[in-house]
Amino acid sequence: MFFQFIDILGTVAFAISGALVAMNKRMDPFGVLIIAFVTAVGGGTLRDVMIGIEPVSWMKNMTFVYVIMASALFAVLFRKRINYLRKSLFLFDTIGIALYTVVGIETGLIAGLHPLICIAMGTMTACFGGVLRDILCNEIPVIFRKEIYATACIFGGLTYFLLLQFFEDRHILFVIVGVVVISIRLIAVRYKISLPSLYGEEDKKIKQD
């Protein structure tokens, strides 16, 4: 029950994130709904396809469809009250990757996968919806920039398996992992921490031009 609650919370966060990006791009209501939907279920769909779950999770549980539609509608109705659009987008996106990291890892464990593959599943679940969102909105996906994004999910996954033997109650572990992912992302953005560039001086020249 708690696991499904986390899954739904992640769905809400990502659906609102997708809707905010779509509205920022001045899309019509249908476009907003589609981007919200793709952002919310994109990572989970890829995960389920790779694991071999048929049909994929959201097709078997209409709750997720209703939640996405309601979240998109909420974002549209209260868009003027969601101040600082970029900050709101960042907040919901960060919450989404934290929650979906845990969901992906747990799904991998249920399927009997190796811990490293479970971490990959968690990272994929958390990030791929955002990748699809950004591609459809003609943006370079965050995961492919220097920002700490997928790296936060990976550290969250490592934390999960490092602490797994110390916590009989998975609920506490879920919360800890979520806090780790969110904290790493917030700290990285606050202090402008990023992955090293492969291009060195070329980046500086491009910025100057």
Please check whether residue 187 is in contact with residue 151, taking contact to mean a CB–CB distance below 8 angstroms: no
Token pair for residue 92?
Answer: 């919901």
**Which residues share a beta bridge with 147?**
194
**Which residues share a beta bridge with 194?**
147
Taken in order 59, 90, 21, 78, is the CA torsion positive or negative?
Answer: positive
Residue 208, domain member (yes or no): no
181: number of CA atoms within 13 Å, CB side?
31
3-class secondary structure for 111-153? CCCCHHHHHHHHHHHHHHHHHHHHHHCCCCCHHHCCECCHHHH
* Among 122, 132, 118, 114, CA closest to 39: 132
Domain extent at residue 91: 2-194
Residue 176, domain member (yes or no): yes
Residue 107, domain member (yes or no): yes
Residue 6, domain member (yes or no): yes
**pLDDT the model gives residue 38:** 97
How far apart (Å, rounded) are the C-alpha atoms in residues 85 and 21? 9
Give the three-class secondary structure for 94. Answer: helix
Residue 44, domain member (yes or no): yes
How far apart (Å, rounded) are the C-alpha atoms in residues 153 and 100? 9
Write phi, then psi, for 149 (nearest 5 degrees): -135, -75
Going residue by residue through the chain (209 aa), what tens digit of pLDDT does each one get? 788 889 999 999 999 999 999 999 999 999 999 999 999 999 999 999 999 999 999 999 999 999 999 999 999 988 877 655 567 788 889 999 999 999 999 999 999 999 999 999 999 999 999 999 999 999 989 888 767 899 999 999 999 999 998 988 888 999 999 999 999 999 998 898 888 877 765 555 544 44
Please check whether residue 133 is in contact with residue 47, taking contact to mean a CB–CB distance below 8 angstroms: no
Number of domains in the chain: 1
Place of tokens 């249908």: 30
Residue 201, domain member (yes or no): no
**pLDDT the model gives residue 1:** 72
Residue 204, domain member (yes or no): no
**pLDDT the model gives residue 206:** 47
